[in-house]
Amino acid sequence: ILPELGAWLEIILDTKRGTLRANLDRKGKVVATTLLKALGFDEERICRYYAFDVSPVTIERLEPYVGYLLGMDVEKDGEGFLAVGDTLQKEHLAELSKLGLERIRLVDRYIQRALETDETTTQEEALRAVYRRLRPSDRSSPAQMGEYVENLYFHPASYHLSAVGRFKVNRKLGLQLKQPVLYLADIVRTIKVLLAVPDNPVLLDEKDHLANKRVRLPGELAENALRTGLARMARIARDKLSKYALDEKDTIRRLISTRTVQGAINQLFYTGRFSQFLEQTNPLTELTHKRRLNALGGGLTKRRAKIEVRDVHPSHYARICPIETPEGQNIGLITSLACYASVNEYGFLVAPYRRVVKGKVTDEIVYLMADDEERYKIAPATVPVGPDGRLLGERIEVRTGREEVRLVDPEEVDFIGVSPRALVGISAALIPFLEHDDSNRALMGANMQRQAVPLLRPEAPLVGTGLERQAAMDSGMLLVADEEGIVSEVDAEHIAIKKGRKKRVYPLVNFERSNQDTILHQRPVVSEGESVKEGDLLADGPSSDMGELALGRNLLVAVMPFEGYNYEDAIVISDRLVRENLLDSIHIEEFEVKAEETKLGPEEITADIPNISKEDLKNLDEHGIVREGTVVRTGDILVGKITPRGESEPTPEEKIFRSIFGERARNVKNTSLRMKPVAGTAKVIKVKRFSRENGDELDAGVNELVKVFVAQRKTVSIGDKLAGRHGNKGVISTIRPVAEMPFLPDGTPVDVVLNPMGVPSRMNLGQIFEANLGWLAKLRGEYVASPIFDGAQEDEILDELHDERVKAGIDQGDDRDGKVVLRDGRTGEPFARPITVGYMYVLKLEHIADEKIHARSTGPYALITQQPLGGKAQFGGQRLGEMEVWALEAYGAAALLQEMLTVKSDDTRGRIQLYKAILKGEEFPKPGLPESFKVLLRELRSLSLCPRVYD
């Protein structure tokens, strides 16, 4: 029993040695019966309480128990025959069998062994034995010892079990106690439950069961941080009181420092491991980030977490999503809440079920903990229910106990699931036909929906699951009416709603940057004079279409090989997607410049920058800041800034300049902010300026701060990553003219060509179902919801699709396999075999080629090794690692290898000479000594060795 505050108590049953011991506050172990005696039990009471029944009382039944202690008094002819604590002998058996007893009580063998090894007989001796373990060097009176043990476990001032601790102890031991201290009943019952475990291993707790795991919400983490800070503050205040003789002039402010409290809160929110920057790529990303669960912390690290912790457990059902988890080292440790799961007052995950009474489903929703569920018979949500609410079918499949599934009568069912989607989290519940996808690909599909960038023209999916509207609404990115009224004003910046004389104005988010540099923008969907009710949609947000989550576009997809251009998951797309901007997205970046105080004087934001042409300054205003609306390219100045240089003795020429031009020719260097490398152009959409003069709060040493927001429209291009909702991801390999794309019998060209080899081995057939149902929805001009685990069936989709295609003149034959004969756009010839075609929902993911492409000629070098830096952000080079060196050695490319390791890397003199030789067209010099070799020599010298280099 581990309390929140106070001494630990461990009761240890060693079945191999047959011992029952108590570990007192990790300071020492005593026999469990010694502890019971110290708490007021005598041997007789112990024997009576820890006895078990044996019946019938016959010689054969009692023979195995010879040598056991009796847990009851036995009378014979009205007189005492055997007393509590007596040993059952062989000669007693015949007499006992004649007494006509229904049962006989015998003491548990572990308690008997404990009593035999227990050297104490009285309470005082037991107290002394317990006290000796807790305070070996202390000698106290029996009264003091009793008071110490009492305070250790049973006093509220020194022991606090916490509300959840008391709740769990009560559940485990079947008690109804209220106070968060330990009671004698807790210890007595703990031993009783523990003694039952060897014969009934089911009583053992399972570490990974959700009944034994709590969710610690931010409020609790903040409370703990605050408690730590306040305790530290109190300790410092006490130290000051004891150290200094404070007079009346001393104020409380001097005595109490709040810095420790502020520090504890800052540590939690600024540097704490659970404080994360909100992911805002799209509304779903934000929603799922807020519903994330983390198993790390509390001593568990990525390295030490075994497969048991990461694995899906039966108790996760309807509480934790079994699908949505990261790939890689965090798999199974970072998870997501299931759709309808909730956290109860004690931090345990609970799942909702509808109560079933005598075979009839009621509207009562009951939230059950993971261990509660095991006591009931629960039917799945897909069980057919009649119009009167009765369960249909003679036998219903239910689960009961830990992992048991069996058939029972409808009257025996206790609960039924609320929905088939309760099993999974929100991301997975947005994948139609999830039941036809392999779990590994479904995991990728759920994770990739969170990486979809908001498109310029979002479109709701033709095939959804019915959760799209709820997900978009709950993301908080849509604008919803708080009360009914009439729309009186609508523009890009606000919507006003009138109710009687009252007018309510809803401001709209306009071209704001998200944390992931995507766009946050709201578009009104109501018009003036329209009547709205409470909860009605007023404005769409990013990635939403008329209130539904819209992460991508519905595109006509053919599943067929295309000249090897879709080899290894590559994707072929039509240039219609580029011309009609179907997969365009807007990205907004923030650039920041600080004018700081330096030792040589303040930095200055200005348009007066030395050695810069007027052409470069044309976009700046009089303050040196780029104007809003300016179109900028790579390297353009966004904010002009100069920094003072160290003053040296001025030359005579400089003195003349200064006398003519005054201070203008002072020694400053240009530290202006320039536009980072971008593909094409970008537009400045917003500029914010903060300065100390205007009373803005800035960091210490900062006089002025300028933020420039630059928006860029990114058209889909080769190298961009596209994906469906079923883990079917790929990179665009070629963009073909519409005329070259395969086309349908009615002349419609397809938009996307996917490789059929991407389907069988991955077992994500949901994409084929989606394509078929998507085409059916398109032909009918309607949107379809196919809920997971309860969606449309293959035969009904294909039958209806065939009928619709015949009506549209696309299908001529009788084959109902969902395939169609396509023709080659280049030749007009039909392909050899019919091809699966349909409308699939395609997402454009964050991984955009323009942001990843990078090249370097020369650039910055690391100071110590003198080797080029790494990464695009540092304008670095490509690493030639150990294994790449082996590859060049294997080919015998000696000259190339020497170049790579010297003049292309850290031969400082050689690379300068080589550069000059290239410019002048001279012969290349021989490579010299690389800097890394010199570093090695210096390191050896630091170890007091004296290496010499012989050429």
Specify whether the CB–CB gap between 24 and 133 falls below 8 A.
Answer: yes
Q: Which of 657-671, 723-737, 890-904 has the lowest mean pLDDT?
A: 657-671
Q: What is the DSSP letter of 649?
A: P
Can you tell me the distance from the alpha carbon of 611 to that of 619, in angstroms, rounded to the nearest whole number? 16
- Which pLDDT value is given to residue 842? 97
Residue type, 506: Y
From the CA atom positions of the chain, what is the Rg in Å?
Answer: 39
HEC states along 375-422? Answer: CCCEECCCCCECCCCEECCCCEEEEECCCEEEEECHHHCCEEECCHHH
Global model pTM greater than 0.85: yes
User: Residues 353, 359, 360, 364: is their CA dihedral positive or negative?
Assistant: negative
Q: How many CB atoms lie within 10 A of CB 39?
A: 19
The predicted structure's pLDDT at residue 257:
84
Beta strands in 265-339 (DSSP E): 292-294, 334-336
Which of 605, 597, 614, 593 lies closest to 674, judged by CA?
Answer: 593
Q: Dump pLDDT digits (tens) for 199-258.
A: 888 888 888 999 999 999 999 999 999 999 999 999 998 888 877 766 666 667 778 888
pLDDT of residue 248: 60
Tell me which architecture the domain covering 9-50+108-203 has in CATH: Alpha-Beta Complex (3.90)
Fold identical between 9-50+108-203 and 555-583+718-844? Answer: no
Q: Where are the domains of the chain?
A: 9-50+108-203, 206-270, 555-583+718-844, 585-714, 855-942
CATH of domain 855-942: 3.90.1800
pLDDT band at 581 (very low <50, low <70, confident <90, very high): very high
* Residue 495, amino acid: I
- Cα-flanking dihedrals φ and ψ of residue 912, to 5°? -70, -45
Q: Is the pLDDT of residue 871 over 70?
A: yes
Q: How many CB atoms lie within 10 A of CB 527?
A: 8
State mean pLDDT over 541-553.
95
Tens-place pLDDT, residues 766-813: 999 999 999 999 999 999 999 999 899 999 999 999 999 988 888 766
Residue 663 makes CB contacts below 8 A (sequence gap 6+) with none
Residues in the chain: 951
Burial class (CB in 10 A: 0-12, 13-18, 19+), 167: middle
pLDDT digit string (tens) for 371-397?
999 999 999 999 999 999 999 989 999
Phi first, then psi: what are they for 243, rounded to 5°?
A: -85, -45
| Cα–Cα distance measured from residue 410 to residue 454, given in angstroms and rounded to the nearest whole number | 48
The alpha carbon of residue 277 and the mean position of all alpha carbons in its chain are separated, in whole angstroms, by 12
pLDDT digits (tens, 9 = 90+) for 619-678: 999 999 999 999 999 999 999 999 998 766 667 887 787 777 765 556 788 999 999 888
DSSP string, 319-384: TB-SS---SSTTTTTEEEBBTT-EE-TTS-EEEEEEEEETTEEEEEEEEEEHHHHTTS-EE-TTS-
Pairwise CA distance, residues 419 & 431, whole Å: 15
Indicate the pLDDT class of residue 18, thresholds 50, 70 and 90.
confident
Query: What's the CA gap between 532 and 506, in Å, rounded?
Result: 13
Helix (H) / strand (E) containing 142? helix 142-154
List pLDDT tens digits, range 96-149: 888 888 899 999 999 999 999 989 989 899 999 998 888 888 778 888 888 888
In the numeric block, the tokens 């933020």 are attached to 707
- What does the block give as tokens for 468? 């799209």
Q: Rounded to whole angstroms, how far apart are CA atoms 377 and 398?
A: 6
Q: Give 555-583+718-844's CATH code, choosing from 3.40.190.10, 2.40.270.10, 3.30.420.40, 2.30.30.90.
A: 2.40.270.10
Enter the DSSP assignment of 831. P
Per-residue pLDDT at 510 exceeds 80: yes
* Integer Cα distance of 292 and 194 in angstroms: 36
β-bridge pairing 342-343 and 349-357? antiparallel
Nearest Cα to Cα of residue 852 among 632, 723, 677, 734? 677
The pLDDT tens digits of the residues spanning 258-308 come to: 899 999 999 999 988 889 999 999 999 999 999 999 998 878 888 889 999
Tokens standing for residue 148? 């110490």
Best CATH choice for the domain 585-714 from the list 1.10.10.10, 2.40.128.120, 3.40.50.300, 2.40.50.150: 2.40.50.150
What is the enclosing helix (H) or strand (E) of 850?
A: helix 849-852
